[in-house]
Structure 1
Amino acid sequence: MNAIRTAQAGSLESQDILITIDPGKKDSGIIIDLDSPSKVQYGKQILEEIESIVTSMDISDVKIKAVDKGALGFTIKARTEVALQRACRKDDE
């Protein structure tokens, strides 16, 4: 499955994360850009969480922009799943 449109989920409110999905170029793989005030401390964990979700949904060739404002793991998972579902959904679904 691949992203066919740009989609977002989340917000820039405190303790949330804004996930933006863009279709990637063919064979570009999973590209994640993380912006977070706690990137030094938790960046690797956030990136692994997002990549794990993308992989579990069998999605490839996608660009993800994540703007974290202190979101917990379950919030990151929920926002990522919803954004990916929106990006992969066809208009007739």
Structure 2
Amino acid sequence: MRIEKIVKAGTVESSDISIILEPTEEDEIVVDLTSVVKHQYGASIEKTIRKILNKYNVTGVNVIANDRGALDCTIEARVETALERAGIEVDI
């Protein structure tokens, strides 16, 4: 499934994450992560983002993630909110 417009969810406040999804022509998922804890948790954050995108079969997307120490549940919620804003029905 592809998104057709740029969408955003979340903030750059402490303990949150800003997620921007941009459609691309490619079939891959590219994650550009900026995080205050990237050296410790960057791989886990990216894994969580990819898990949610794969759950909804989303391809052809650039993800710009600006993390400020968000927990996994917050990351999942922000990605799902962005997907909803892109018109993809998510399980809530």
Same fold by TM (over 0.5)?
Answer: yes
Aligned identity (percent) is 41
CA positional deviation for 1:84: 1.7
Partner of residue 68, structure 1: 67
**1:30-89 alpha-carbon deviations (Å, 9 max, x no partner):** 0000000100000000000000100001111100000000100100000011112212x1
**Matched letter for residue 17 of structure 1:** I
What is the aligned-residue RMSD (CA, Å)? 1.2
TM-score (norm 1): 0.90
SS at match of 2:57: coil
Q: Indicate the SS of the match to 2:48.
A: helix
Q: Which runs of 4+ in 1 moved over 6 A?
A: none
Q: Does 1:40 align with 2:55?
A: no
Equivalenced residues, count: 88
Q: Deviation at 1:24?
A: 1.3
Q: Distance in 2 between matches of 1:37 and 1:17?
A: 11
- The code of the aligned residue for 2:15 comes to Q
The one-letter code of the counterpart of 1:14 is S
Q: Does 1:83 align with 2:82?
A: yes
Cα distance in 1 between the residues matched to 2:39 and 2:26: 31
Structure 2: gaps spanning 5 or more residues? none
Unmatched segments (≥5 aa) in structure 1: none
TM-score by length of 2: 0.91
Q: How much has 1:25 moved relative to structure 2?
A: 1.4
Secondary structure of the residue aligned to 1:65 is: strand
Give the secondary-structure state (helix, strand or coil) at the position aligned to 1:48: helix
Residue 14 (structure 1) aligned with residue 34 (structure 2):
no
